[in-house]
Amino acid sequence: MKTIDELIADGVGGKRVFVRADLNVPLDGATITDDGRIRAVQPTIAKLAQNGAKVIVASHLGRPKGAPDPAFSLAPAAARLSELLGRDVAFATDTVGDRARDTVAALGDGEVAVLENLRFNPGETSKDDAERGAFADQLAQLADLYVGDGFGAVHRKHASVYDLPARLPHAAGDLIATEVAVLKKLTEDVKRPYAVVLGGAKVSDKLGVIDHLLERADRILIGGGMAYTFLAAQGHEVGISLLQKDQIPAVQEYLKRAAAKGVEFVLPVDVLVSADFPDLKTKAPANPDTVAADAIPADKEGLDIGPRTRELYASKLADAATIFWNGPMGVFEHPDYAGGTKAVAQGLLDSSAFTVVGGGDSAAAVRQLGFDENAFGHISTGGGASLEYLEGKTLPGLAALED
Ligand SMILES: Nc1ncnc2c1ncn2[C@@H]1O[C@H](COP(=O)(O)OP(=O)(O)OP(=O)(O)O)[C@@H](O)[C@H]1O
Ligand SMILES: O=C(O)[C@H](O)COP(=O)(O)O
């Protein structure tokens, strides 16, 4: 992969450089609740601007349905980027239309613009190569050079991630370079015991990594929305908890293989349940019940790991030499369900392991719960991306930068 410094050495002054970032930050209305992903890519943008490039920043935010939707606008992210850079940042209210073209045409050397959400266009995420290609052609008209630095999205075969770099001279940004260097260590000579903690809500995206981890990890701790598919696979009632029914046979197979290989699967022994998903806006008290993991009432959902599980997980992390953690243990955005995630974060810090936290929400959780992000070995901006990297999969957004 060409580095950004090599691209700069070739000359970026006066050139329009398209930076594919991952500005998919958590929002409360128009307020950014964690700006970690913007801070992570800001040095790349600043470096290009300092070297005289006309910088065009593009990203997705959330999962809009291929059409403009104000709830998913990147305007708040553009405003925050402007604060972080300490300079004006122009914002184009479309992605490839007149406003984007005009905004880019108005950029002076060393100036920065952000385009509106790439996913407002159906071509960005299309499974049809021609439709994606046509959108990439439109994006390519805006720029002379491409820098891939949206590590959180490199596992997506999307127009701006995969097709666009094939159309422009390209390089990898500093964030991607750092992420790959750290995660590579976990695929090579990992110090043991190697413990992996998996949670979160994007269950179907994440179950696949277990297949790979069974060959590498010594211990796999499961929490968050993931846990209920495992509990169901063991024959337990999970009520109205998050459940990936079609994955139950695969999970049963994982449990069998783990037992045969001596890989320890650690599942919740108790959980916090409620009949209602908590109100994340008002944060009104949720008054959950604590129940044994094999006694979840049929009309309730599990929303955090319970106190006995927190202790158990802390003990399973204490003597680890390497820990990779992806996905909150519960709905940490509500204080009544933040305890499990807090306990695991503390467990990482109390160990003397090399610790890697992966995922936009996991990283946000660590910061929102008051932990010092510098106390962890590495906080990755990629959730699904870091997991697929560890799986050894070819990631479209990295492959596209390679030649
Ligand atoms: N038991 C649960 N039921 C429902 N949602 C849950 C549960 N446990 C955790 N979550 C939710 O999971 C979400 C985070 O999951 P996600 O899989 O997106 O994490 P991530 O990998 O860190 O982030 P990303 O994939 O965005 O990089 C949080 O919003 C949290 O509220
Ligand atoms: O949050 C993430 O993991 C990345 O921004 C990718 O988002 P996606 O899962 O909606 O593609």
Could you list the beta-strand ranges (E) of 98-175. 112-115, 145-148, 170-172
Helix intervals (H) in 267-320: 307-318
Atom of ligand 1 nearest to the CA of 205: 17
Question: Cα(76) to centroid of ligand 2, in Å?
Answer: 18
Looking at residue 226, the DSSP 8-state letter turns out to be G
Q: Is the CB of 340 under 6 A from ligand 1?
A: no
Confidence of residue 352 (pLDDT cuts 50, 70, 90): very high
Contact indicator for 381, 363 with CB cutoff of 8 Å:
yes
Catalytic residue among 37, 157, 219, 316: 37
3-class DSSP state for residue 85?
A: helix
Distance CA 195, CA 106 (A): 51
**360 among known catalytic residues:** yes
Question: Cα(327) to centroid of ligand 1, in Å?
Answer: 6
* Lookup: tokens for 324: 């990779």
pLDDT tens across 39-93, in order?
Answer: 999 999 999 999 999 999 999 999 999 999 999 999 999 999 999 999 999 999 9
302 is annotated as contributing to ligand binding:
yes
Pocket test for ligand 1, best of 331, 356, 368, 388 (most atoms within 8 A of CB): 331
Looking at residue 114, the DSSP 8-state letter turns out to be E
Q: Is the CB of 384 under 6 A from ligand 1?
A: yes
Q: Which ligand is nearest to the CA of 60?
A: 2
pLDDT, mean of residues 374-386: 93
Question: Cα(22) to centroid of ligand 2, in Å?
Answer: 8
Q: Count of residues for the chain?
A: 403
Enter the pTM of the model.
Answer: 0.88
Q: Is the CB of 359 under 6 A from ligand 1?
A: yes
- Whether 369 has a pLDDT exceeding 90, the answer reads yes
pLDDT tens across 169-197, in order?
Answer: 999 999 999 999 999 989 888 999 999 99
CA-CA-CA-CA torsion sign (248, 252, 296, 290):
negative
User: Does the interface predicted TM-score (ipTM) exceed 0.85?
Assistant: yes
**37 among known catalytic residues:** yes
**Residue bearing tokens 């799986």:** 391
Atom of ligand 1 nearest to the CA of 358: 22
CA-CA-CA-CA torsion sign (303, 25, 146, 48):
negative
Distance CA 157, CA 329 (A): 28
24 is annotated as contributing to ligand binding:
yes
Residue 264, H or E segment:
strand 264-266
| pLDDT for residue 73 | 98
List Cβ neighbours of 190 (8 Å cut-off, separation of 6 or more).
Answer: 216, 322
3-class DSSP state for residue 353?
A: coil
Atom of ligand 2 nearest to the CA of 22: 5
- Whether 273 has a pLDDT exceeding 90, the answer reads yes
List Cβ neighbours of 361 (8 Å cut-off, separation of 6 or more).
Answer: 26, 200, 327, 328, 383
Distance CA 333, CA 365 (A): 8
Nearest to 378 by CA among 391, 365, 363, 389: 363
| pLDDT for residue 214 | 92
207 is annotated as contributing to ligand binding:
no
Pocket test for ligand 2, best of 20, 22, 23, 24 (most atoms within 8 A of CB): 24
Residue 97: CB atoms within 10 A of its CB come to: 14
pLDDT, mean of residues 193-217: 89
Name the phi and psi angles at 100, rounded to 5.
Answer: -65, -45
Report the nearest-CA residue for atom 2 of ligand 2: 152
Q: In whole numbers, what is the pLDDT of the chain averaged over residues?
A: 96
**Residue bearing tokens 């209210």:** 93
| pLDDT for residue 335 | 96
| pLDDT for residue 246 | 94
**384 among known catalytic residues:** yes
Strands 16-20 and 54-58, sheet pairing: parallel
Strand ranges across the sheet with 16-20: 89-92, 112-115, 54-58, 16-20, 145-148, 170-172
Nearest to 144 by CA among 167, 174, 124, 113: 167
Q: CA angle at residue 57 from 54 to 60, to 5 degrees?
A: 165
3-class DSSP state for residue 284?
A: coil
Q: Which ligand is nearest to the CA of 117?
A: 2
Contact indicator for 173, 18 with CB cutoff of 8 Å:
no
Q: Which ligand is nearest to the CA of 358?
A: 1
| pLDDT for residue 391 | 87
Residue 185: CB atoms within 10 A of its CB come to: 15
Atom of ligand 2 nearest to the CA of 24: 5
